[in-house]
Structure 1
Amino acid sequence: MLMTPSQDTKKLPVLVVLHQETSSPGRVGQMLVEKGYPLDIRRPVLGDPLPSTLAQHTGAVIFGGPMSANDPDPFVKAETDWIAVPLKENKPFLGICLGSQMMVRHLGGTVAADKDGMTEIGWYPLRATAHGRLLMPHWPKMVYHFHREGFSLPRGAQLLAEGDVYPNQAFRYGDNAWGVQFHAELTRAMMQRWVVRGEGRFIMPNAQKGSEHLEGRMIFDAPLKQWLSDFLSLVFERHAAEGQQAPERPMRRSA
């Protein structure tokens, strides 16, 4: 567990859940710290415990990873079950890629590969829905992906953005739970590492070559970065500004 400093020690930390020893919260972490939130970084896959309550946290973010939300590993089930905590306490929760898929599983939805084996590895179009545009007027037209599974839209969730191969790209559940399939958090150094380490996946159906990942960043990253800052303010700052919690929302649980 690692606590990072913040400019505003009055704000409660954001719980950050990562899935590899060398994983980083990237720009999400940088932007949260800039907004005044300390980071409480934990890696359950390495034995770090998750808190039984978020009373001492502003909210939580579960990041992506190379594993699947369908994997039988104990930590995958434990994290998926743990999502009951922010949902019950109505604390801000953000799932990114694997984290969003875990939330979908928790809510009774499904996580699966495209029937034709198509992947999204590289830059692909994003379209905000009417719900998404009401929440945020400006969405990026292209976003970065690195996945070969998508998710169904949980019952009761609002679809905020959609794509071509995997239609469900961003959603909101209740007042304070959010999931996104794509990666806005990558710094340039992180993307370069992913391109090197993930080279073997670039031959998969619909995947882009490594050079296209880095070239696309030069073209598409600026609006994605601005969107991320605005989105994190929507998720965490809006909740803090309201100064109170809404009534608890009934939860759907997977079998």
Structure 2
Amino acid sequence: MTDILIFTHIDYCPPAHLAQVLEEGGHRFAVLRADLGELDGIDLDRPKAVAIMGGPMSVNDPLPWLQTEVAALQHLIRRDIPLIGHCLGGQLLAKALGAEISRMPYTESGWQPLTRLDQSAPSPWLAHLPVQFPMFQWHGDSFAIPEGAQPLLSSPWCANQGFAWGDKVLALQGHPEMTEALVREWLDDWHHLLDETQPSQQSRALMLDELPAKVAELNRVAEGFYRHWLSLAGL
């Protein structure tokens, strides 16, 4: 087993830019499909850093493997190793820390502006970021902030966009891992699930407008998160 594990939950929510960052840095990593039972039998005392990616399911769905993953995350939290969650992954971390995940009355999608909430106690997770910056979104659930966590980010459509718990846990509601190819894949395959007449959802055309520049900026945002995550693990 490698020192870095990435938990995934469906084939179209891969590590994407995170995998590129790790490969370019010469870091070996293993990608596990939690929904296919690949967490069973894993030595959770071995990894030095874990990332948790997204997925279309709800943390509240009655799926046995979700309970297995939450229990695994609780073990990793007790070990105090660096953890970073993306969308569903952030919700799973919130659940593991005892917070509720609830259905929003709408879907938030597209490039949405995030605002930092850490002005009074600046977080090292956000040291590379301005007060406002865009992030790609696609979710209908939202996490509450766990007891003892520091709220970090908000958007106009979702008050809880990110939190830090302790020194080593970062939960994000958005998708910093997106690449151009993945944005196009999602919009080609799943745009029929969106309703661009809703103010919380961007149109497909607007999501794709100036996509290379938007993704390049998002990559810089993501790389700051990933550099800090790796540094905490001593990698």
Give TM-score, length-normalised by structure 1: 0.82
Contact in 1 for aligned 2:107/2:201 (Cα 8 Å): yes
Q: Which residue of 2 aligns with 1:138?
A: 129
Q: Which residue of 2 aligns with 1:176?
A: 168
Deviations 1:76-96 (A, max 9, x none): 111112111210111111111
Are residues 1:236 and 2:230 paired?
yes
Q: What displacement does 1:238 show? A: 3.0
Deviations 1:170-229 (A, max 9, x none): 111112111001111111111111001211222173212211111163443322211211
Q: Which amino acid aligns with 2:107?
A: T
The CA distance in 2 between the partners of 1:141 and 1:186, in whole Å, is 15
Contact in 1 for aligned 2:151/2:164 (Cα 8 Å): yes
Contact in 1 for aligned 2:109/2:202 (Cα 8 Å): yes
Q: Which residue of 2 aligns with 1:49?
A: 39
Counterparts of 1:132-171 in structure 2, within 5 Å, are: 133-135=122-124, 136-139=127-130, 141-171=133-163
Q: What displacement does 1:36 show? A: 2.9
Counterparts of 1:2-21 in structure 2, within 5 Å, are: 12-21=2-11
The CA distance in 1 between the partners of 2:18 and 2:73, in whole Å, is 19
Q: Which residue of 2 aligns with 1:197?
A: 189
Q: Which residue of 2 aligns with 1:187?
A: 179
The CA distance in 2 between the partners of 1:95 and 1:128, in whole Å, is 18
Contact in 1 for aligned 2:44/2:72 (Cα 8 Å): no
Q: 1:141 to 1:216 in 2, by over 3 A?
A: farther
- CA RMSD of the aligned region, Å? 2.0
Q: Which residue of 2 aligns with 1:101?
A: 91
Contact in 1 for aligned 2:70/2:92 (Cα 8 Å): yes
Q: Which residue of 1 aligns with 2:79?
A: 89
Q: Which residue of 1 aligns with 2:68?
A: 78
> Could you say what secondary structure the match of 1:156 adopts?
coil
Large movers: runs of 4+ above 6 Å: none
Deviations 1:26-63 (A, max 9, x none): 00111122223211111121231355544432211110
Q: Which amino acid aligns with 1:120?
A: E
Q: 1:50 to 1:234 in 2, by over 3 A?
A: farther
Pick the aligned partner of 2:108 from 116, 120, 123. 120
Which has the larger strand fraction? 2
Q: 1:137 to 1:129 in 2, by over 3 A?
A: farther
Pick the aligned partner of 1:61 from 35, 51, 56. 51
Pick the aligned partner of 1:34 from 24, 30, 37. 24
My pick for the range that moved more, 158-167 or 212-221, is 212-221
How many residue pairs end up in the alignment?
A: 229
Deviations 1:142-193 (A, max 9, x none): 1100101111111100111111111111111112111001111111111111
> Could you say what secondary structure the match of 1:118 adopts?
strand
Counterparts of 1:199-218 in structure 2, within 5 Å, are: 199-203=191-195, 205=198, 206-215=200-209, 217-218=211-212
In structure 2, list runs of 5 or more residues that go unmatched: none
Q: What displacement does 1:138 show? A: 1.8
The CA distance in 2 between the partners of 1:58 and 1:223, in whole Å, is 28
Give TM-score, length-normalised by structure 2: 0.89
Contact in 1 for aligned 2:164/2:171 (Cα 8 Å): yes
The CA distance in 2 between the partners of 1:178 and 1:50, in whole Å, is 24
Percent same amino acid at aligned positions? 26
Q: What displacement does 1:126 show? A: 0.4
